[in-house]
Structure 1
């Protein structure tokens, strides 16, 4: 029986593909205050700004490719039962070939109705004012903004609870509620943390192995490490 491996991936996972990390050191996201482009209040205050912001992100995503880290995780499905829980809104895990990907914060290549959060549809072009759902309601990016519920959180908790190994890649695990996920790991679950500059994770019950490498290098190292101990 294959061991169960859960990957918790963040912005550092996609950085090598050319996707900028969520916020730069100055607190801005692509030159914008996140409160203006990633909150319901920002949406109501300046809808066109928000639409344009995500249109630019969507165009950028379509120009980049999965990196070696994404591709190696997909290859590891031959040997492990892998579930990826990602804070990223890109589709690079899927494009690399990973088959079980749960997006905590939504997906850039999807939109949804402003009146019905379950009315979701694929979207690869620009989204503008006047793009409506079948009932005539404006469509919005399918992104979980600050202050909004994270619908996939409970499913993510269940996956972590069942894991034999949990691997944190490219995320500081400082943003809640996602940061609380590792607390659901079994006592005998081994934790791995791949990041060239790992943050401190306080109050861990589980054994943690640090891999201070980039996502691509670290996932390759992880593959060899898990193959050796499994």
Structure 2
């Protein structure tokens, strides 16, 4: 999206009274600006009103990808994160669920294109960055929470695989792998926007199991070939390596 189109989009969108901020951000394994977040007051923005504004931008031949964020919910989520409280909620299009720390990542990585005079988005940016590159309480809570989540998921998946439940075992491994991605990002002090592309990004970080992405993909191949024995051989090695990485971090 070029700057002229961006300015036109912002000019039209900021006319909506309920908006508090317009932020460009990246999703998945890409932190380049690829979409627009619209921070708004709860109950103050109707889909009809938004679609009407977007319709006025039909002459722009670049699709407008936007997501809505209720500002009060984001404030609450970030406060919980900074207090070390991790939560996950189900949302369509996110099979792992949406972790509340992703809202902090959106604020951290996002580029403010416009905001209301009260500058709530700027205040949130300051709140996240005030505790350093990666808030330590959030880091510790993320590691503890998702290591436990991975362990529980793998235990449930293994018992299902013994009874022939390959589908359930695969799903359990997906939950465990996504949990490890959260831990790896926390170990590397990298806020995570989304589970999309998370394995690829985790594989590129300095503190990560060797060939993490290749091995995760191999586990799925073993499950697809109906070979849970080989799958859990690889899973066990990954689990041990993750434990070593976390232990090394704790000692440090």
Q: Rg larger in 1 or in 2?
A: 2
Looking at secondary structure, tell me which structure has more strand per residue: 1
Looking at secondary structure, tell me which structure has more helix per residue: 2
TM-score normalised per structure 1: 0.27
